[in-house]
Amino acid sequence: MPEENPQQTQTPPQTQPSYSQPKVEYVVPDPDSSLFMTYANSIQLGFTFFDMRLIFGEIVDANPKKVIIEQRAQITISYLQAKFLMMLLQSALQQHEAQHGEIKLPPGAADAIEVTNAEVKMPATLPKR
């Protein structure tokens, strides 16, 4: 039987560091004002090399000649935050559809999204087919 060497030490197995979620506390900074809230049924997307800009608006009037969209809020986020937002929205939609059924897009909705180098615009109205 081989002799044990007391000076030899065993290295503990390598483990992956675990990431634990910190507790998040949401605070409204000024108690006299309230959290800004708005409704949006129109979203425009602008982007630069560094970040993405979401412009939320509300369609307040629409007729065959003109659509009026009041732009209500603009939020700029990093691409990393945009990826987290995409994952969060995808998860929320999957859970909603699992409980309430598939959300069906109107025919032609995906074709109506306009993408340019400067921005992505969702149409105010869908194209006629």
Give the HSE-up count for residue 100: Cα atoms under 13 Å, Cβ half-sphere.
8
Reported as a single tens digit per residue, the pLDDT across 24-56 is: 676 666 666 777 888 998 888 998 999 999 999
Examine the pLDDT at 95 and tell me if it is beyond 80: yes
Give the residue, 81 or 121, on which the prediction is more confident: 81
pTM: 0.60
Tokens of 113: 């999204």
Could you tell me the residue ranges of all domains in the chain?
42-121
* Percent above pLDDT 70 for the chain: 64
Q: pLDDT at residue 77 above 70?
A: yes
3-class DSSP state of 27: coil
Give pLDDT, residue 105: 87
Average pLDDT, the chain: 79
Element (H, E) at 32: none
Measured CA to CA in angstroms, residue 115 lies from 5, 47, 112 at distances of 69, 11, 10
